[in-house]
């Protein structure tokens, strides 16, 4: 059985006893999916609602919900109460929850799990009196409106029209007043819809701006130093490591080779391997840095040798860098996951390497400089974070991007560099890694 | 190397700031019927048909394989015995029909979707009707073509026009264009089918003559429907081309967010017959009238402004799905096809040199000599078979998504098993280029905004001002 932490308990009790639309901010490793699944189960099993819709942005996130529900309810009850709808090839059929788009089947189930894009496959005549919408940080407002349309209480609207028109000033309030009960979960500091204009708000930001919200502050992923770094970097206002994992450190099975000792250093949770690689343009909007890619691969090889059982991920902002690193790793037959920061959302690993890529005399870091990309990259690891890239470029870069409330612009790369150097980690020269 | 990449990147950056919308032939046809009807689709997002297109789609799949198989194989010019010929073709099509029906049933079964009890009979009946139309009318008038290609997507960037043609019949002296409808054309009233056919003719002209107004290669165009065929005369078509162009421009400007006045047709066939769309049309007409007169409550006014901002943001996203095609076309205009494609390949926008290996169900495995290519899993690609003397974006193509890339092999997932069969027949033997593409999901995103717009109207606008 999964135990809830006090943050999760508080949020569960709040959402069970309140209606309308509300937000829950879930920083890295704080158990958003677990909280959402618990909430759905509690709502249905204790009779707070007849039908709950669980919406995820991707098929893998929807499958993750199904997995959690199967654990919480047990396979038999999950099979009886839940149904996975939407895009059949995207559904994990190894789970006990059946897949169906048939109105008859969906009607008989209490919890329906679907992705945002596939909601159109659900008939408009099926209504939900409660919904949990995950990953709203990556969604636009219009994404949020599609599940909302399945929760409008038309009868209530007709009866309460005058009151509603008096109370309502924006779309989120209109949704709340129209009988929609939705818990919108996400983290605008980790994700942002692709291509959304700088001044525009994501679905999650709309919710946070227009209605009540609470934050999950206990991370079960990040050890204390990392939790503190992420908290101060993204300004969460109190993110902390859960007691049982706070002191977690990397343990290696063998002596670390001299060349890598300061970089892999298990006593230090965060290390910045300062490297002077060369950035190159690729694709319509991508970049790569071959020296950095090779350095990452070298570090991974050593990590595989000294800590073979550990999971390792390399995160980078650019698809081209991912492609190059993957190719090198494959040629050496090293098993390491390489992800872009968008793809890394929702993933974790014991050890994470973050390849910065950008390095130029003008100190332009482009998309690497965004709060969300940096935050995701530094908040994936359970034991050790190694940032690979030019420290000076980041420290003195010109990047300025909006923080969540779009009021002030901040230089996030600089902020990260300063925090790692001065408070939470160590910057080490990694010139030896330049030879391959 | 950098000059080439820089050039491509500059083109991307430049085009991102321009309007890269494409108007589909089907949308031009809608605007020709009524410009308001087009606006109900875009930007309002008001039209969503709950109709199940399973039968129509299955018949389209069957036709797309049979026309290049049993139909062309049994083609008899000016035969008097069309009934026996029809029976022979239907008989020879048995395996294809059965395979596609079983495949459709398998998919609906996997998705646990219900299917109407007489599904198989309806398919047989419609297919029989279409083959009758072809034997009785089309074969009566026209010779056996040299080859038939089906489900061709043609993109004409210069004229912001794109469309998918059911079938092109190629003769040494020109082309015939074929469209099939699963219903009886005599019972329809809007003329939409005709407009779509003419719009597609412009695309076919572009494919065969590089100029949509060049009718030299035009041979005939035809809509085959249940039991018959309709052949518009070339003079009629030419007379209507202006209307197509006016409405294409109208649709393009609406998509770009320009304020263009929509003209209501003098005879309003849709609303007069009470078909879908009329109620919504009235709603938006009154909504904009009230806005114009300043009678809308402030809260509602503010909210609808947000709705429109969202709608146009969605339309902008729709335009971005066409960006890669625009870049390819611009570079081809600037540097010629060979140089442009080389530049695009160096930048990773296109990938060439693939050969078909094998297929399983909807998946196709292809390989190339080396492993140095830029495609990644989950990317959407347009697989283009380069045909000599045809504009790049009018060549035979299919859309697929990349499932897996390992060493020199790539696994692609096609829309369906039928698309794979079609590609094996008409695409894979050509030199293959894969170009990055995007899915267009805008309609499903506009719909909820429309629903909330109406909800807001219901709450904020005094009842007496709204349509009953
Ligand atoms: S109601 Fe008339 S004007 Fe409106 S969309 Fe229909 S046909 Fe056009």
What does the DSSP assignment read for B124-161? HHHHHHHHHHIIIIIHHHSPPPSEEEEEEEEEETTTTE
Which of B92, B173, B177, B187 shows the shortest CA–CA distance to B131? Answer: B92
> For chain B, how far is it from start to end, CA to CA, in angstroms?
65
CA of B270 to the centre of ligand 1 (A): 6
**What pTM, to 2 d.p., does this model score?**
0.90
Mutate to test the pocket of ligand 1, among B189, B277, B284 (most ligand atoms within 8 A of CB): B277
Q: Which residues of chain B, if any, have pLDDT below 70? A: 1-2, 48-52, 185, 187-190, 269-277, 372-373, 466-468
Instruction: Among A117, A146, A174, select the one facing B456 at the smallest CB separation.
Output: A174
Q: What is the CB-side half-sphere exposure of residue A50 using CA atoms within 13 A?
A: 8
Pocket of ligand 1, candidates B29, B31, B37, B282: which has the most ligand atoms within 8 Å of its Cβ, to mutate?
B37
Q: At what angle do helices B323-335 and B2-16 cross, to 10 degrees?
A: 130
H/E run at residue A22: strand A21-25
Nearest CB to B110; choose among A88, A146, A174 = A88
- Those of residues 164-193 in B touching chain A at CB distance below 8 A are none
Residue from B395, B432, B324, B409 nearest B363 by CA: B409
Q: Which of B9, B111, B448 has its CB closest to that of A146?
A: B448
Reported as a pLDDT band with limits 50, 70 and 90, residue A158 is: confident
Q: What are φ and ψ of residue B176, in 5° steps?
A: -120, 145
Best mutation target among A283, A331, A342 (most B Cβ atoms within 10 Å) is A283
Q: What is the mean pLDDT of the segment spanning A249-268?
A: 94
Backbone dihedral angles phi then psi of residue A290, each to the nearest 5 degrees: -65, -40
Contact A205, A404 (CB under 8 A): yes
The encoded tokens of residue A79 equal: 């099979």
Check residues B113 and A372 and name the one with the higher pLDDT.
A372
Beta carbons of A104 and B114 less than 8 Å apart: yes
Residue identifier of the C-alpha nearest atom 3 of ligand 1: B264
When pLDDT is cut at 50, 70 and 90, the band that residue A433 belongs to is confident
pLDDT in tens, B124-167: 999 999 999 999 999 999 999 999 999 999 999 999 999 999 99
How many percent of chain B have pLDDT more than 90? 70
Q: Is the pLDDT of residue A255 over 60?
A: yes
Give the binding-site residues of ligand 1, using a 6 Å CB cut-off: B 34, 36-37, 40, 264, 268, 270-271, 277-278, 281
Give the C-alpha separation, A60 to A337, whole Å. Answer: 16
Query: Could you tell me the pLDDT band of residue A122, with boundaries at 50, 70 and 90?
Result: confident
pLDDT number for residue B276? 54
User: Nearest CA to A144 among A13, A16, A23?
Assistant: A23
Nearest-Cα distance to chain A for B238, in Å, is 40
Q: Are A149 and B452 in contact (CB under 8 A)?
A: yes
N- to C-terminal Cα separation, chain A: 48
The proportion of chain A whose per-residue pLDDT surpasses 70, expressed as a percent, equals 97
A429 interface with B at CB cutoff 8 Å: no
Distant-in-sequence, close-in-space partners of B400: CB < 8 Å, separation ≥ 6: B364, B380, B381, B383, B412, B413, B414, B415, B419
Amino acid B2: pLDDT: 66
Q: What pLDDT sits at residue A163? A: 77
- The answer, yes or no, to whether residue A187 has pLDDT greater than 80, is yes
Which secondary structure element, helix H or strand E, spans residue B360, and what is its range? Answer: strand B350-360
For domain B323-437, the CATH architecture is: Beta Barrel (2.40)
CB contact under 8 A, B310 and A140: yes
pLDDT, residue A404, reads 54
pLDDT of residue B189: 59
Q: What is the pLDDT averaged over residues A62-82?
A: 95
d(CA B11, CA B449) in angstroms, rounded, equals 33
Q: How far, in Å, CA of A232 to CA of A119, rounded? A: 37
Among residues of chain A, what percentage have pLDDT more than 90?
Answer: 74
Domain edges within chain B: 51-143, 323-437
The torsion of the CA quartet B410, B412, B418, B423, rounded to 10 degrees, works out to -50
Give the length of chain B.
468
Q: pLDDT averaged over chain A?
A: 91
Dist. CA B107–CA B147, nearest whole Å: 31
What are the residues facing B401 on neighbouring strands? Answer: B380, B413
Predicted ipTM? 0.89
Nearest-Cα residue of chain B relative to residue A99: B111
Residues linked to residue B224 through DSSP beta bridges, in sequence order: B180, B229
CA of B287 to the centre of ligand 1 (A): 15
Chain A from 200 to 219: CB within 8 A of any B CB? 200
Which tokens go with B463?
A: 């009842």
Mean pLDDT of the A371-382 span: 96
Phi, psi dihedrals of residue B167, rounded to the nearest 5°: -155, 145
Both tokens of residue B359?
A: 């297929």
* CA B423 to each of CA A351, A367, B419, B426: distance values in angstroms, whole numbers, following the listed order: 44, 39, 6, 5
CB distance A200 to B309 below 8 Å: no
């Amino acid at each position: 059985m999964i135990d809830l932490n006090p943050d999760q308990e508080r949020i569960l009790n709040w959402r069970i006893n309140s209606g309308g639309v509300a937000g829950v901010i879930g920083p890295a490793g704080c158990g958003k999916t677990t909280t959402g699944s618990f909430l759905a189960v509690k709502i249905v099993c204790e009779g707070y609602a007849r039908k709950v819709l669980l919406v995820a942005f991707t098929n893998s996130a929807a499958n993750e919900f199904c997995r959690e529900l199967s654990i919480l309810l047990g396979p038999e009850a999950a099979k009886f109460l839940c149904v996975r709808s939407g895009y059949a090839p995207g559904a994990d059929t190894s789970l006990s929850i059946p897949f169906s788009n048939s109105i008859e089947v969906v009607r008989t189930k209490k919890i329906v799990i679907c992705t945002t894009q596939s909601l159109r496959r659900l008939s408009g005549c099926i209504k939900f009196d409660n919904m949990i919408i995950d990953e709203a940080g990556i969604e636009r407002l219009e994404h949020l409106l599609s599940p909302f349309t399945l929760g409008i209480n038309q009868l209530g609207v007709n009866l309460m029209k005058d009151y509603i028109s008096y109370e309502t000033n924006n779309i989120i309030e209109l949704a709340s007043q129209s009988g929609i009960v939705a818990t919108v979960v996400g983290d605008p500091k980790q994700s942002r819809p692709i291509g959304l204009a700088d001044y525009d708000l994501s679905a999650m930001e709309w919710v946070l701006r227009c209605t009540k919200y609470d934050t999950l502050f206990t991370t079960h992923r990040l050890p204390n130093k990392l939790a503190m770094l992420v908290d101060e970097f993204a300004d969460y206002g109190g993110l902390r490591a859960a007691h049982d994992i706070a002191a977690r450190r990397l343990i290696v099975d063998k002596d670390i080779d001299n060349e890598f000792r300061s970089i892999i250093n298990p006593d230090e949770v965060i290390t910045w391997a300062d490297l002077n690689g060369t950035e190159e343009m690729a694709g319509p909007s991508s970049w790569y840095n071959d020296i950095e890619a090779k350095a990452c691969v070298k570090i991974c090889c050593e990590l595989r040798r000294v800590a073979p059982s550990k999971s390792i991920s390399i995160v980078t902002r650019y698809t081209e860098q991912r492609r190059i690193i993957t190719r090198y790793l494959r040629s050496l037959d090293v098993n390491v996951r390489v992800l872009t920061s968008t793809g890394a959302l929702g993933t974790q690993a014991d050890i994470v390497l973050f390849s910065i890529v950008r390095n130029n005399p003008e100190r332009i870091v482009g998309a690497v400089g965004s709060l969300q990309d940096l935050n995701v990259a530094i908040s994936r690891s359970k034991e050790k974070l190694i940032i690979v890239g030019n420290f000076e470029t980041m420290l003195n870069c010109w990047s300025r991007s909006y923080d969540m409330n779009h009021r002030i612009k901040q230089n996030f790369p600089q902020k990260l560099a300063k925090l790692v150097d001065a408070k939470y980690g160590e910057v080490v020269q990694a010139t030896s890694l330049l030879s391959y | 190397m950098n000059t080439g990449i820089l050039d491509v990147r500059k083109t991307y950056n430049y085009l991102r700031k321009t309007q890269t919308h494409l108007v589909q032939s089907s949308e031009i046809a809608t605007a020709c019927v009524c410009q308001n009807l087009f606006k109900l689709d875009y930007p309002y997002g008001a039209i969503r048909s709950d109709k199940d297109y399973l039968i129509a789609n299955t018949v389209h799949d069957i036709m797309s394989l049979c026309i290049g198989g049993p139909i062309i194989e049994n083609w008899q010019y000016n035969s008097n015995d069309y009934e026996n010929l029809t029976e022979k073709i239907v008989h020879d099509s048995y395996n294809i029909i059965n395979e596609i029906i079983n495949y459709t049933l398998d998919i609906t079964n996997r998705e646990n979707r219900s299917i109407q009890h007489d599904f198989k009979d309806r398919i047989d009946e419609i297919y029989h009707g279409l083959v009758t139309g072809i034997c009785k009318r089309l074969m009566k008038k026209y010779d056996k073509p040299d080859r038939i290609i089906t489900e061709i997507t043609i993109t004409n960037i210069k004229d912001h026009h794109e469309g998918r043609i059911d079938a092109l019949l190629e003769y040494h002296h020109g082309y015939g264009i074929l469209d099939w409808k699963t219903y009886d054309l005599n019972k329809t009233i809007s003329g939409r089918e005709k407009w779509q056919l003419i719009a597609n003719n412009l695309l076919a002209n572009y494919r065969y003559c590089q100029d949509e107004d060049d009718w030299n290669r035009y041979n005939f165009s035809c809509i085959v429907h249940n039991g018959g065929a309709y052949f518009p005369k070339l003079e009629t078509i030419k007379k209507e081309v202006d209307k197509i162009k006016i409405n294409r421009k109208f649709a393009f400007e609406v998509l770009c967010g320009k304020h263009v006045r929509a003209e209501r047709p003098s005879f309003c066939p849709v609303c007069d017959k009470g078909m879908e769309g009329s109620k919504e049309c009235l709603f938006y007409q009154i909504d904009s009238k009230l806005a114009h007169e300043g009678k809308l409550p402030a809260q509602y006014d503010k909210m609808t402004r947000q709705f429109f901002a969202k709608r146009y943001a969605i339309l902008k996203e729709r335009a971005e799905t066409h960006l890669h095609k625009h870049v390819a076309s611009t570079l081809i205009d600037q540097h010629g096809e060979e140089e442009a494609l080389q530049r695009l390949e160096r930048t990773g926008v296109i990938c060439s040199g693939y050969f078909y290996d094998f297929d399983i169900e909807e998946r196709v495995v292809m390989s190339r000599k080396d492993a140095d290519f830029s495609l990644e899993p989950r990317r959407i690609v347009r697989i283009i078979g380069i045909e000599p003397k045809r504009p790049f974006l009018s060549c035979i193509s299919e859309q697929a998504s990349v499932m897996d890339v390992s060493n020199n092999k790539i696994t692609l997932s096609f829309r369906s098993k039928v698309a794979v069969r079609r590609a094996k027949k008409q695409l894979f033997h050509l030199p293959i280029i894969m170009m990055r593409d995007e899915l267009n999901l805008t309609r499903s995103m506009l719909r909820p905004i429309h629903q909330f717009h109406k909800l807001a109207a219901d709450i904020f606008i005094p009842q007496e001002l709204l349509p009953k």
